[in-house]
Structure 1
C-alpha cells in the first residue's frame, strides 16, 4: 500500500527536499499506558487484546473533575500517559504491537501503520521529516495538556527539518484537536503550519454513533476480534465521563439536511386515557439532553467494592458547549492550505431508535440495556459525509473516497491525494 511513487527506492525524494509531516490521531487512535505514580512502571491499557477488559476497568475508568476540566483515573495510584517512542509514531502505528497481532495481522488495530510505511517509502525520515502525535483521547480537545503537547510537537518538527513549515495530517477527532489549536493559538499555528489535511473529521459531530455511545456504549471492533477487546459496556462507563465524546455530539446550530433524531418506542402508563398503548417519542439535538439525563439517572459502576454513580454529566456538557464555540471561532491563517478527505458509500448511523412497537421501552433507563436500530446516511460508517464536509473553510481540495472510517488511513486513493498535495510526485519528476 505504498503508492505508485514509492515502489522503487531509487525514486525516493531526498529527505532534505521534504517539508515535515505530523500525523495526528483521533479517538481511540493512540496507545494509552497506565503509569504507577510511585514505581513509574507502565502497562498498556489501550489497546491490549488479551485481558483487555479487566485491565481497562482497573486502570482506565475515570471521573471528570469540573474544577480542573480533566478526566481523572479512579485508581489514584496511577495515571494515563501516551508513549513518546519513535518520535511519537509508536503510539499511533499498531495500537497493540504484540507478536500475536503482528503474526495474524489483525488489521483492526493497525492504525497509521500503512500511511507511515507509505511516507517512509517516499523518502520521509522519522525524527527529521516525519512525526506522530498521540494524546489522551479521553480528555477535551481544548484541554491545555493536549494543546501544549501539540505545540511542542510542531516546534520540534519545524526545528528538526531546518525551519521548514509543517504539514499536518489529522484523522477523525484529531481534526477537532487541531481545530481547537488553530482557534486558541492562531499565531503559533500560522508560524509552524504550511498545510493541513483532514481525514474523516466530525466537524459537526457524529450523530448516530455519539448519541448511542452515551446511551449504550461504543464498540470499536466487531467479529472474532471483539472477544479479545474492551467490551461495549466497559467503554460506555468510560465515555460518560469523557469530554471528547460530548464535544462530538451533533451540533444543534448546524443546518442539517435533516435534523438527527433519537426515537424511543414508549409503553404508555396503565390507567391513563389514551388512544394507543405505545407511541414513538422523538428527541432532536437540543431535546436529547433531557433524555440522556433520565436514561442515565441510575447508571453506576462497582469499583473496588465501591459504588460510583455515573449519570449524564451536565458539567461536561457545559464545557463541551464552550468547546463548540471554540470550533466556530477558528479562522484559517493566510497562506495555510486546507484539504479535506471524507468517506463515502458506507451506511453511516444518523438517527437511532430504541425499542419497537412490539417491544416498547417502559422506563427510559431500560434504553442503556437495549441494542439500537439505526437509520443511515452516506458517509464512512462512523461520520456522515455531511458533517465532514462542513468545515467552514475555503478548501484547496475536498475529496470523497469510497472507504470506511479507519480504512481511509490505508486507502491507495487517499495516499495518491496525499502524495499530490505534499507535492511528492512533482519533486520526483524534477
Structure 2
C-alpha cells in the first residue's frame, strides 16, 4: 500500500526531483544532494558562475553513476581541492600540485585533471622522482644539499631515463629502487654533518663503521661513494665492498606449475584478467610490474596465423600459445576499468586500475594471483625460467622474454647445460640439411 494508507506521514518524495528515494536531512535524495554540493563547490563566489576551464571536470563528476560515492568524495579532502581550484586558491598546474603533500586525494585529482584534458599528460613516476630529489635535499645543510642535488640529477635521473624503454614510462618499482639510493646518500651525508665531518674529509674507517651498522645499505652507499669519487667530492681511495646477495632459486614444481596454468586456461569462473596474467607468469616467467604495464600497442597479430597473438616484452615478438592467445583476445575485447569514472574514457592498458588513466598496480595483481593458487610469483617465475632455458638458447630467450643477457646466462648455467647443447638438441629434433642453408 502507499505510505498514506499505511499511516506514514513522512514523505519519501524528493523536493527537488520529486522522485521516491531515501532522503537526506534536507528532504532531498542522495543524487540531488551530491549535485547541489558539486554546484556549490565549483561556483566562483565572486562571479556566481563556474569557471569555463573547470567545466570539463564538473561534467565528469556530474556524470558519476553512484551519487553516494560522489557525495562522500566531495565532503572529503577531494572536495576541498576542487573548491580551491574554483576559487583560484590552487592553480591547475602540475607544479602547483607538486607543492602539496602527495596524498591519495591529490593524486586522484591530478589523474582526473589529466583525464579530462585540463592538465597535460606526463611521466608521473619520473616527475615524482625529480620532486623527491628536491624534497630530500632541503633536509640537509647548504653544502650537502648541493652534493645530494648533483647526485640526484647527474646520476639517478640518467639511470631513470635509461630505464625508460620502448616508450614506456618509469615504473613505480624502478622509482622506489632509485629513491632508496637517494635516501641512503641523504642519511650518510646527515651522519657526517652531525659529527662535523665534510664528505671531502671522510675516511675509510668512518665509512667502514657506518657500513657495518647499516649492512643492508651497503650496495647503495657504494654507488654513492663511487659517484662522489668520480666527481672529486670524496677521497678516491675509499673502498666499499660490493654486497653479495644470494639469489633465491627456489622453484615451483613443474607438475604444479603446468596444472595451475591448465586450470587457469580452462576455468571460466576465474576473472579473465587474472587468467591471462597468471598464465604469463606460469608459462613465460614474467614480472607483475611488466604485465600490468602492457598496452594495446604491445599486442601483435601473427602474419600467417591470425588467431595467434604476440606480446612485445623484449627485442623480439613473443608468440603465445593458442589457448592463451584466445584468452588475450577476449581480454582485449571485453576489458573495462573497475571504476565508473574511468569507464567514460578509453584506456590503452590491458589491465586498467582503480585510478583514472592508470594501470593495475603490481602488488594488487600479485595478491590476486596468490588467491588463485600461485604461492609466490618468484617461485612460479623461477620454475618457468628453468623450463624455458633448457629448451631455448639463453640469448634468444633473453630477447623474447625481455630480460638482460646476464640473467638469462646465469639461468643457463644453473640448468647445468652448455652452449653447444642447444645446437645438439636442435640437430636431434630434425635431420641434418642436405643442402647449405
TM-score between both structures, scaled by the size of structure 2: 0.21
Larger Rg: 2
**Which of structures 1 and 2 has the larger relative contact order (alpha carbons within 8 angstroms, sep 6+)?**
1
| Greater fraction helix | 2
TM-score scaled to structure 1, two decimals? 0.21
